[in-house]
Structure 1
Amino acid sequence: MAKSAKYLLVGSTEAYSGKSATILGIAHQLREKGLDIAYGKPLGTCLRGNQSEAFEEDVRFIRKILNLPQKQVRSPLLSLNAETIQKRLQGDDLTNYRQSLKPYLQQASGDLMLLEGPGSLCEGSLFDLSLKEVAQTVEAPVLLVARFHSVLLVETLLSAKQQLGDCLVGVLINDIPDHELSMAQSTMRPFLEKQGIPVLGLLPRSSLLRSVSVRVLVDQLQAEILCRPDRLDLMVESLTIGAMNVNSALEYFRRGRNMAVVTGGDRADIQMAALETSTHCLILTGRLPPQPMILNRAEELEIPVLSVDKDTLTTVEIIDHAFGQVRLYEPIKVQCIQELMTEHFDIDRLMSQLGLEPAVTAG
């Protein structure tokens, strides 16, 4: 057998494809087989707070979920932001990041280090830290995560194979709608396999994984919480705008599931209709206070009511943006991805390709 890999680099074709989720799913399965896992993210891209106290949320979250000691975690070598890009462009940063990469990673211990790659195939190129450059520098096989948009994804994956060459150990296609699953299994997978692209997993779309918590919406909208601040962990799966007459609205709301309903603070009829359907959050625009009966009913039904001083269009745009950049920070999502990966990802094939043996045997 070929010598076992020290690293697995998990990359993606576009941002928010599910790299962190994939890493959590793989780590969960490898640990069940007795392997010691480490984690690193050479290129940081998810910074919060000001620069002096910047931290990488994904790294902190994964370390916490996997309960990894500090020696098995590597924080970003470089954070990708306007300031670091500007310095590079002006010639103020001449660091050879590829040279820094090996010593930076070798400080970690474990049977396999899972490396979270950049958001796309080209991200990080300015600093010589693109997916291919990282893979070549540390001799890391690449698992590519791709979100399903249409069957044309095969073109993206063929192009990625041309760029990555032998570095590419396989692909995971996720977020596949139910009506496309059988086509993906019977047509896409065999085609890609014939092109030398191992398909290690086909994950069906999950409404839970695509959802956001009410807490995230409060944060993004800078909303005032009018009632039930204890229910901000409710997950919102869809967005509905209550701007029509009440009869049309009720029919519309009944088709929704776990909704956030955005409507004017003066539309008591729409608000009441929303509360009587599958609504997880009522968002009132214009800073108009709702009638007491609305808050009383929301209290009874344990539905948070938020107030924002933005107009409906701006509010909807912010929520849409939150749905488009869904992250994995709720424990219920971690459990969901672990179950999906266990069912739909071929961990044994991946281990075989990496030259890894289980440290424990079943039974």
Structure 2
Amino acid sequence: MPLSAKQTSKYLLVGSTKAYSGKSSIVLGMAQQFQLRGLDIAYGKPLGTCVSASQADGIDEDVRFLGKTLNLPPNRLGQTLLFLEPETLEKRLQGFDRTDYKPLLAESLQNLGGELIILEAGATLESGRLFELSVPQMAQQIDASVLLVDRFHSLTEVGELVGVKQRLGDRLLGVVLTDIPPESMSATETLARPFLEERGIPVFGMMPRSQLLRSVSVGELASRLNAEVLCRRDRLDLMVESLKIGAMNVNSALKYFSEGQNMAVVTGGDRTEIQLAALETSTQCLILTGHVPPSPLIITRAEEVEVPVLSVDLDTLTTVEAIEDALGHVRLQEPIKVEYMRKLMSQHFQIEGAIAALGLETAVTTP
């Protein structure tokens, strides 16, 4: 049953067709635009994916971060009903958890204030289906409009979006296309956009691919790899956009590294000449494997060029896999990403169209 009549807030449920489409980034940039226009907003994530250090408070880590960035008071932050972890799924499948989460969702939102309550859904449209918390189920339960974030790599995505429209009907407010490759931008604008809009699917934003948004800080890599920081701990805020493996001969190394940009270079601790070559190019950190301490020459040079050197107990393959998993899959936490997203949304997101589609009135017409 939908929320009671006393609820006057509008609900916007932000979902996606696939994981890592950039929902949190879009939510943050969009919320900032709403706030600039005088709208009182709240934010929540009923289906948690990022367990906080203090899970007992019932708030997903992304909610905590966005709440702090947006300066939202506690009564504008929604409770996380459950965290989507293996243990949670096992209890549900084994029949130990028979909770009906649909009324719990409605109840958890009753005390939230704000003209617009933005809720972030799970990784895909069907994430949370076992708990009655998929996008279609939540939208029905709280009478929410749905904004779909889609990582749009090619025109093949169009058919999937049309299918979502058929499933959600008038609840689909529109879509935001993200991570569009440069070579696909023209076709997306001239072919995909008009095709979708002719079928009642407004395109509120087209976000170009950004290496910065897909990057990861050296500090995050150090944490994921459980690495020892050998020098320049003060530069762990450097952002890594690509990965190179220093396994070639010295003569090829400099040319190989010069082709990269803002790299993490993984190589053996005994490959001094390879390490020196990497430090002369666009390297953001050296990651040394093999349990071999680097030459003092390397530490001295790394100090000079302000490049952190990390030492890991992992083998090269495991290290590379961990870094590749992090690139493009990390949460929006670094201030430089927040600022970049703010600018990206101000340039590429049609905030006035979204406000009109939601039926909201703003105190400020232009920021």
The letter for the 2-side match of 1:195 is R
Contact kept in structure 2, 1:118 and 1:124, CA below 8 Å: yes
User: Aligned pair in 2 of structure 1 residues 289, 55: CA closer, same or farther (>3 Å)?
Assistant: farther
Question: How far off is 1:60 after superposition?
Answer: 0.9
Equivalent position of 1:113 in the other structure: 117
Determine the C-alpha separation between the residues in 1 that align with 2:104 and 2:297.
62
Query: Structure 1: how far apart are the matches of 2:101 and 2:366?
Result: 42
Query: Which residue of structure 1 aligns with residue 192 of structure 2?
Result: 188
- Partner of 2:327, secondary structure, is helix
Which of the numbers 272, 278, 283 marks the counterpart of 2:276? 272
CA distance in 1, matches of 2:32, 2:237: 24
CA distance in 2, matches of 1:111, 1:358: 10
Secondary structure in 2 aligned to 1:61? helix
Report the 3-state secondary structure (helix = DSSP H, G, I; strand = E; otherwise coil) of the residue aligned with 1:337: helix
Matched, 1:156 2:160: yes
2:58, 2:81 within 8 Å by CA — same for their partners in 1? no
1:356 aligns with one of 353, 356, 360: 360
Identity %: 59
* Matched residue, 1:172: 176
- Partner residue, 1:337: 341
Partners of 1:72 and 1:52 in 2: how far apart? 18
> What do the CA deviations read for 1:124-147 (whole angstroms, capped 9, x no partner)?
110111101100111110000011
CA spacing shift, 1:8–1:54, aligned 2, 3 Å = closer
In 2, distance between residues paired with 1:74 and 1:194?
35
Counterpart residue number, 1:290: 294
Alignment-derived partner of residue 244 in structure 1: 248
The 1:359/1:52 distance shift into structure 2, 3 A limit, reads closer
Contact 1:234 1:280 in 2 (8 A): yes
Partner of 2:144: 140
CA 1:93 to 1:14, structure 2 compared with 1: closer, same or farther past 3 Å? same
CA deviations 1:284-306 (Å, max 9, x no partner) are 11121111111000001110000
TM-score, normalization by structure 1: 0.96
2:44 alignment partner AA? G
CA 1:104–1:37 in structure 2 vs 1: closer, same or farther (change >3 Å)? same
2:60 paired residue number: 56
Match of 1:68 in 2: 72
Q: Is the Cα contact below 8 Å between 2:29 and 2:342 reproduced in 1?
A: yes
**Secondary structure at the counterpart of residue 170 of structure 1:** strand
Aligned to 2:35: 31
Following superposition, the deviation at residue 90 of structure 1 comes to 2.1
Letter in 2 for 1:212: V
Distance 2:55 2:236 in 1: 29
Gaps of 5+ in 1: none
Which stretch of structure 1 is more off in the superposition, 43-52 or 60-69?
Answer: 43-52
- Hey, what does 2:3 align to over in structure 1? none
Alignment RMSD, CA only? 1.7
Asked whether the equivalents of residues 49 and 55 of structure 1 are also in contact (C-alpha less than 8 Å), the reply is: no
User: What letter matches 1:204 in structure 2?
Assistant: P
Is the Cα–Cα contact under 8 Å of residues 4 and 355 in structure 1 kept in the other structure? no
Tell me if structure 1 keeps the 8 A contact 2:79–2:108: no
Quickly say closer, same or farther: Cα 1:70–1:53, change in 2 above 3 A. Answer: closer
Counterpart residue type for residue 130 of structure 1? S
3, 6, 10: which one aligns with 1:6: 10
1:311-358 deviation per Cα after TM superposition (whole angstroms, max 9, x unaligned) = 111110010011141211001101111111110011111111100111
CA distance in 2, matches of 1:206, 1:146: 15
Once the two structures are superposed, residues 175-200 of structure 1 have per-residue CA deviations (whole angstroms, 9 ceiling, x without a partner) of 11111111110111011112221111
* Matching residue within 46, 51, 62 for 1:47: 51
CA contact (8 A) 1:5 1:356 kept: no
TM-score normalized by the length of structure 2: 0.95
Q: Does the 8 A contact of 1:228 with 1:299 survive in 2?
A: yes
In the other structure, the counterpart of 2:20 is 16
The answer (yes or no) to whether the contact 1:224–1:307 under 8 Å persists in 2 is yes
Deviation at 1:155, TM superposition (A): 2.0
